[in-house]
Amino acid sequence: MKDWWIYKGDRATDRLARLAEHQPPWRTFDGEVDLGYEVPSLDDERYAADRERGAGYIADEPEIDLVNTALYLRRPLLVTGVPGAGKSTLAHSIAEDLELGPVLRWPITSRTTLRDGLYRYDALRRLEDANLGRLEQRPDQLPAESTDPGGSIGRYLQLGPLGTAFLPTERPRVLLIDEIDKGDIDLPGDLLTVLDEGRFDIPELVRLSESTPRVAVGTDDQAGRAWIVGGRVRCRAFPVVVLTSNGEREFPPAFLRRCIRLNLPLPDEDKLHRIIVRRIGRQAADEARGPGGVIETFLKRRSHGELATDQLLNAVQLRLAGAWTAPEDLARLADATMHQLSGPDAT
């Protein structure tokens, strides 16, 4: 543990206060905190699986160094590595370690656009409601002090995971932008303004800002409604942005220079043993280690083609349940659980 670490640092200290003291002067944000919006807690039973997933992640020193570098500089962390290396789980580990609430996840596909992550506006439903004459005032859907007459447009707007992450809160949120390399070639460039300036506009609200300066809209985490003032969302604490990539394509230099880059290496025998200890238990991990063990078999097969760590966990869990426990059954166990994901023998 190093003195400057925030992530995986001394839990006895107020690590986020220390982080706030070292904010780069060129990365300051002044969004006005919405006291009515409350970030969900990971202690909520709804997020028990996310909490356990984050707590089970084993981060080595080089990873911790780069995560903390991204935290201090308020820069996105671009995490690369083979599938199953733990790229997405790292985001959950940061959220659990720093008690930042549930991770906001934005999965990327070839059809994803920037607006998909920022907000959704159901104009068709609004039009249908207008035609049916049901745009009367609905005080039960907005706080009493609403300045949005009848909450007309706010009922049809919901922030996406990216938009919710940039709401002005005292503590940063963790945003996972998963598999960004699967997105359209223009998506990384489209993200630059939001990631640089920590803000974005909702044009539908900007147009109404003179008559309706404050509008309450839904959020991606279903934590109630958040106030948008003047049609603009501007963060106060820059979110912890974790972008994952499987290396399917290159990114433009303008995007890369704004990111802290972390490549997760394949775990060696010692780390695989530690992962099994953390996830399943020491006895199972010790039985999987050693000559002729499940870990050795996994490493041999991985040398000929891509394998994911969870495939090893599957094999260990099956043996723990009494399946294929005889030494002569090890090959059959490997065939059942360790299919290569790439390479000449992949199927």
Which tens digits make up the pLDDT trace of 34-73? Answer: 999 999 999 999 999 999 999 999 999 999 999 999 999 9
Total residue count of the chain as it appears in this document: 347
- pLDDT tens-digit profile of 92-102? 999 999 999 99
Tens of pLDDT, residues 234-263? 999 999 999 999 988 899 999 999 999 999
Check: CB of residue 332 under 8 Å from CB of residue 318: no
Say what the pLDDT of residue 125 is: 82
pLDDT of res. 189: 94
Q: Distance of CA 304 to CAs 60, 295, 299, Å?
A: 25, 15, 9
Sequence-distant (≥ 6) Cβ neighbours of residue 24 within 8 angstroms: 72, 73, 74
Name the amino acid, one letter, at 115. R
Cα of 345 vs its chain's centroid, Å: 32
- The percent of residues in the chain predicted with pLDDT above 70, rounded, is 93
Average pLDDT over residues 327-344: 87
Q: Over the stretch 169-194, which tens digit does the pLDDT of each residue have?
A: 999 999 999 999 999 999 999 999 99
What are 242's strand-pairing partners? 77, 176
pLDDT at 151 over 60: no
**In which band, very low, low, confident or very high, does the pLDDT at 146 lie, cut at 50, 70 and 90?**
very low
At 121, which helix (H) or strand (E)?
strand 119-121
pLDDT digits (tens, 9 = 90+) for 261-290: 999 999 999 999 999 999 999 999 999 998
DSSP state of 134: -
Percent helix, strand and coil across the chain, each to the nearest 5: 40, 15, 45
How far, in Å, CA of 61 to CA of 38, rounded? Answer: 33
Which residues lie closer than 8 Å to 45 by C-beta, 6 or more apart? none
pLDDT tens digits, 73-92? 999 999 999 888 899 999 99
Do 239 and 166 touch, CB atoms closer than 8 A? yes
* 38 DSSP assignment: -
The CATH number that domain 15-263 falls under is 3.40.50.300
pLDDT recorded at residue 130: 73
pLDDT at 133: 64
Question: pLDDT at position 249, please?
Answer: 87
Average pLDDT, the chain: 91
User: pLDDT band at 11, cuts 50/70/90?
Assistant: confident
